[in-house]
Structure 1
Amino acid sequence: MPDSEAPKQSQLSPALIRVDASESIGIGHVMRCLALAGALKDHGEPVTFLCAQCPAALVDSLKHRGFAVEFLPPAMKPGSEADARFTAERARRLDRNKIDGDGARPIVIIDGYHFFEDYQVILDQYPLRVAFMDDLHHCKRYYTDIVINQNPSARAENYPNTAAKTKLLLGAPMILIRGEFLDHRRKQARREQPARARKILVTMGGADIDNVTSKVMGGLSQIEDLEVTVLIGGGNTHLADIQKLADALNNAHTRSRFTCLQNASDMAAVIDDCDLVVSAGGTTVWEAAYLGAPTAVIITADNQVEGMEYFAAAGATALLGRQEKLSEADIACALAPLLDSQEIRKSLAQKAAVIDGQGARRVLDTIASIVVPAT
């Protein structure tokens, strides 16, 4: 199917996304599924999120976006054989007319490190179209119809053992950008980078279990004349401590201000309004890059290492390092030249422009092309 051609509605079908989120897991798996869910919804297909666990604030956000949210039975172990069969049976009930009629089998998207080979084999026994959202290539073999790894570093060599039918969708062309970011870029021209960056966005993920946010704020407090917006995700349990720190810093510093923002309703506008994004190595990095905002990345989890190191080696982001090895002084020292150099920030944004926003459409094209024989 040509790149300019969207999938025909009849080639798609209702989708079930099996994904979990919690303080320990984080919400990144859900966030990267949102772009695909939104694209399916735009094509008129209902999407259901099926979770073992998910924070209440995130559940509310998903429902507000028009998605259904359901849960596994409480005693069911995530990633177990029972989970796989429950997921498959639930997917089969999504739209009985399509299942028995035009052959457009239901879509199942799985995202998580507890979905191993046995889980995939069970799903493969059902008349479903299954996509695996991956980043660590942690399975010895993949049995799904599609494997999606949007890390720019992802290569076919990472997947030497797949089923004959498996299609690999890898690298920067598959980076999934949510619809609100696509809409924002269509409507708004990216503003020019100032000589010195003053407006800074800090976003350390939806959960930030180690409260890296406070460490970054401490580092930025050592730099004068900044306007710092601190984004606090719905799964972050450190809200009170972060707000208390912001108040203390505002009282101590007359030339820099810290503003806390929880559960931003228009993340694209928040990013577009800043001169530099200081972020954990997750979905926000790709979204900021798409909008043309330069980024400085702090790695907060092992699954971020490969993609962020590759992106930094390409000159597309400034990698500050792993959070546990960084002090507040280290952060201040690393950020100072980025704030002072318009050229460095321009270069970061230009080299990150490999993200074209068409990843979700490419994935849907591939899903639409999969034909599952009748059983």
Structure 2
Amino acid sequence: MIAIRVDMNNQIATGHLMRCLSIAEALRFHNEEVMFIVADEQPIEFLSQRNFRYIVLNTQWNNMESEVKELTKIIIDKNIDKLLIDSYQVTYKYLNEISNITKTIYIDDLGKFEYPVNTVICYANYWKKLGYDLNNTKTKYFLGTKYVPLRKEFWNIKNKHISDDVENVLIMTGGSDPYNIAGLMLCGIDRSKYKKIDVICGRYNSNYNDLVAGYRNESNVSIHRNVSNMEDYMMNADIAISAGGTTLYELCACGIPTISYTFVDNQIDNAKQFDEDGLIRYAGDVRDGDIVKSINSILNKMKDDYKLRKDMSHRMQLCVDGRGTMRVADIMCEKCI
């Protein structure tokens, strides 16, 4: 059996869980039995909706060493021969002890230390900056954007048609929006220029009700929450404005000309790398200045430059082809890891 150790809550939001669910869906295509192991009950709604089995450890999600004894018992009792781990809270001791009893696959994008696991998967576009020891024969490395584990809705996306005019703008803020960038953007852009402005709020966005109330009378502005068909909104957009993170890889797969911004440290590297590679324009960090002014400047330039948008879209879809999830599933099903 393959198990996946991952958590979700209002501090780490949904990103880790969503990419693990994508991998689990791909494993089903291989007829692999998959079970999730979580610290608490917060992810249960997502797991139940997708009919995945799960075990709740009833432990602290940010103190993973405290769960080693219970997790070891589960691995032995359930005959788990491979464990995918997706958490920033891991320690060397934790990974080393778990790797002594089962084969471990770790999803990484930080490069904090040399991970004592069987396999490291890092799909981050900046993986070369993380200093992996590729001569380490004890660990296999699968690196780069070809392994981005996107949801199945993105596995077979067609090439994006770029319109001459920019009519539809999509604003996405991730699982939470602590700086109310959605609200600031709506105030800061000339909304009359656009036929449609869709704002996607995550489940932990505390500004959602205020946004709905503030723009209920503007027919071209729609505020959404917890949408299940994100890819439809992406494909209908001419330009997207998005926080950094996995969403940028989804936008690449769709080929949507995009402006990114960041508000936490772990978003900065991939946002800057996409900008350096000429794929997604980076407007800066919310904590460092007038982000709305910066986004507006880039938005106006992109709006008036069809060739720029078309070139960006083409390069984005070359970078992320949408099939990374199946590649990860193939890796996990290999007997040699």
TM-score normalised according to structure 2 size: 0.90
Amino acid in the other structure paired with 2:121: I
- The residue number in structure 1 matching 2:69 is 85
Deviation at 1:44, TM superposition (A): 2.2
Structure 1 residue corresponding to 2:309, chosen from 345, 353, 363: 345
Taking the aligned partners of 1:107 and 1:257, their CA distance within structure 2 comes to 49
Taking the aligned partners of 2:83 and 2:186, their CA distance within structure 1 comes to 40
- The residue number in structure 1 matching 2:141 is 168
Q: Equivalent residue of 1:247, what SS?
A: coil
Contact 2:179–2:286 (8 Å) recurs in 1: no
Contact 2:5–2:38 (8 Å) recurs in 1: yes
Offset from partner CA, 1:144-186 (integer Å, 9 cap, x none)? 1111111112138612388632111111121122112114x2x
| Mapping 1:1-375, distance limit 5 Å | 14-53=1-40, 55=42, 59-74=44-59, 76=60, 78-94=62-78, 96=79, 106-126=81-101, 128-138=102-112, 140-155=113-128, 158-160=131-133, 164-183=137-156, 185=157, 189-221=158-190, 224-247=193-216, 250=218, 257-324=220-287, 325-352=289-316, 353-371=318-336
CA, structure 1 residues 51+214, in 2 after alignment: closer, same or farther (shift >3 Å)?
A: farther
Q: Equivalent residue of 1:155, what SS?
A: helix
CA, structure 1 residues 66+314, in 2 after alignment: closer, same or farther (shift >3 Å)?
A: same
Taking the aligned partners of 1:28 and 1:73, their CA distance within structure 2 comes to 21
Offset from partner CA, 1:326-367 (integer Å, 9 cap, x none)? 343332222111122211111111111221223223323332
Count of aligned pairs between the two proteins: 335
Q: Equivalent residue of 1:168, what SS?
A: strand
Offset from partner CA, 1:250-278 (integer Å, 9 cap, x none)? 2xxxxx72101222122222211111121
- The residue number in structure 2 matching 1:8 is none
Q: Equivalent residue of 2:242, what SS?
A: strand
Contact 1:129–1:370 (8 Å) recurs in 2: no
Name the % identity: 25
Amino acid in the other structure paired with 1:90: I
Contact 1:207–1:235 (8 Å) recurs in 2: yes
- The residue number in structure 2 matching 1:9 is none
Taking the aligned partners of 1:63 and 1:107, their CA distance within structure 2 comes to 22
Deviation at 1:318, TM superposition (A): 1.1
TM-score normalised according to structure 1 size: 0.81
Q: Equivalent residue of 1:357, what SS?
A: coil
Deviation at 1:371, TM superposition (A): 4.4
Taking the aligned partners of 2:137 and 2:19, their CA distance within structure 1 comes to 26
Amino acid in the other structure paired with 1:118: K
Contact 2:279–2:312 (8 Å) recurs in 1: yes
CA, structure 1 residues 209+42, in 2 after alignment: closer, same or farther (shift >3 Å)?
A: farther
Amino acid in the other structure paired with 2:328: V
CA, structure 1 residues 306+330, in 2 after alignment: closer, same or farther (shift >3 Å)?
A: closer
Contact 1:204–1:213 (8 Å) recurs in 2: yes
Taking the aligned partners of 1:241 and 1:63, their CA distance within structure 2 comes to 30
Amino acid in the other structure paired with 2:201: I
Unmatched tracts of structure 2, length 5 or more: none
Deviation at 1:49, TM superposition (A): 2.7
Contact 2:126–2:273 (8 Å) recurs in 1: yes
CA, structure 1 residues 45+216, in 2 after alignment: closer, same or farther (shift >3 Å)?
A: farther
CA, structure 1 residues 174+257, in 2 after alignment: closer, same or farther (shift >3 Å)?
A: same
CA, structure 1 residues 218+31, in 2 after alignment: closer, same or farther (shift >3 Å)?
A: farther
